[in-house]
Amino acid sequence: MKYIVCEKPGEFILKEKEAPVRKKDEALLRIKKVGICGTDLHAYGGNQAFFTYPRILGHELASEVVEIGVNERGIKAGDKVVVMPYISCGECIACINGKTNCCTNIRVLGVHTDGGMQEFITVPTNILLLANNLTDDEMAIVEPLAIGAHAVRRANIVPGETVAVVGCGPIGIGIMKLAQIAGAKVIALDMNEQRLQYAKDKIGVDYIVNVSEHPVKQISEITNGDLCTAVFDASGHKGALETCPSYMSHGGRFVLVGLSKGDLTYTHPAIHAKEMTLMCSRNATTEDFEHVISVLDQFPTSSFITHNVPFSKMIAHFDSWLKPETGVIKATVNFN
């Protein structure tokens, strides 16, 4: 079978090897489509945390079961499945407390272990969810939307509150739509006008704010001086992460979804006066995946996936997806 491996930063190689053989409690999957995410872009660029090379990338997967044993979800050969790409130990303190998304020994497909940029892959049966009602495009975006669903659930968003989402990339866009579904009014922030307009036109956010144009003043005007009860950072940008508390109301929550590799600095009196709740949101759980699958018909999948290429042409196109002028929101790779 063919596969693409990132040998080192900036270098992909197309190779061939024998198809894997499934073990007990594993399933053999045929990969139909892979979504490209920020993790893949950062890994290729050499600036992804928790990463070693060489690595087969890809954890946003649309797949079909080739072989599987008896399992509690009743999945059988020929079924379409969404892969929850987080392999947890089930034994650590986080897993025992139901937080498998931040297992102390977590292995994420395409990050800590090889992912789906290959024709076939074997994975534990317990990370599969039936998805016979979804298209390949829909299956490929469930995982990034589940990241957003987990963040929204962490923040305990309730109907009627006004939230800010910083970063109109795929994760931020997912947070915006899922916060809307939870009943919130949403302010989208970015410096990319094209992406801000997408958030307005296709996601239907209530307000857009360009961060280069006095964002605190704009948010204050929108909220009659109250600011936002919840602020999500989906950019991972140090400057954005350090500015977010200034968008937040007194008594508000700040949710760090994007990942920065460096140190962050906050002025303690400013965040203390607001009694700020600071929380990180990492990966997602089965509950988040199931929620996304249940509301996916409310998401504009066709406009969200802006670029799509066959597997044989992925290497030739990947560099262009790193460039803002390409206009990528979500790129995908087809195996059909």
Could you report the per-residue pLDDT of 142-175, keeping only the tens digit for each?
Answer: 999 999 999 999 999 999 999 999 999 999 999 9
pLDDT value at 19 more than 70: yes
User: Lowest-confidence range among 99-108, 306-315, 322-331?
Assistant: 322-331
**pLDDT tens digit sequence for 73-95:** 999 999 999 999 999 999 999 99
> What's the chain's average pLDDT?
96
Provide the CATH number for the domain formed by 2-132+300-334 in this structure: 3.90.180.10
Q: Where are the alpha helices (DSSP H) in the chain?
A: 38-45, 93-96, 136-155, 170-181, 193-198, 215-222, 238-243, 268-273, 286-295, 301-304, 314-321
Res. 324 pLDDT band, cuts 50 70 90: confident
d(CA 162, CA 143): 25
Res. 42 pLDDT band, cuts 50 70 90: confident
Mean per-residue pLDDT, 136-141: 98
Per-residue pLDDT, 45 = 87
User: For the chain, which residues make up each domain, given as ranges?
Assistant: 2-132+300-334, 148-280
Q: 148-280 belongs to which homologous superfamily?
A: NAD(P)-binding Rossmann-like Domain (3.40.50.720)
Taking residues 182-209, report their average pLDDT.
97
Q: How far is Cα 144 from Cα 122, in angstroms, rounded to an integer?
A: 21
The predicted pLDDT at position 216 comes to: 98
pLDDT score recorded for residue 336: 77
- Exposure string (b/e) for 262-296, b if CB count within 10 Å is 16 or more? eeeeeeeeebeebebeeeebbbbbbebbebbbeeb
Instruction: Tell me what pLDDT residue 260 has.
Output: 87
For the chain, how long is the longest CA-to-CA vector? 62
Overall average pLDDT of the 245-268 stretch: 95
CB atoms within 10 A of CB 3: 21
CA distance 225 to 228: 9
Residues 202-208, mean pLDDT to the nearest whole number: 98
For residue 50, what pLDDT is reported? 65
Q: In this model, does residue 12 exceed pLDDT 90?
A: yes
Share of the chain above pLDDT 90, in %: 93
Q: Residue 286 — pLDDT band, cuts 50, 70, 90?
A: very high
Q: Using only the alpha carbons of the chain, give its radius of gyration.
A: 20
Which tens digit of pLDDT belongs to each residue from 105-133?
A: 999 999 999 999 999 999 999 999 999 99
| AA letter at 64 | E
Contact 328, 306 (CB under 8 A): yes
Nearest to 116 by CA among 2, 211, 240: 2
pLDDT of 124:
97
User: In this predicted structure, what is the pLDDT of residue 49?
Assistant: 66
pLDDT score at 261: 79
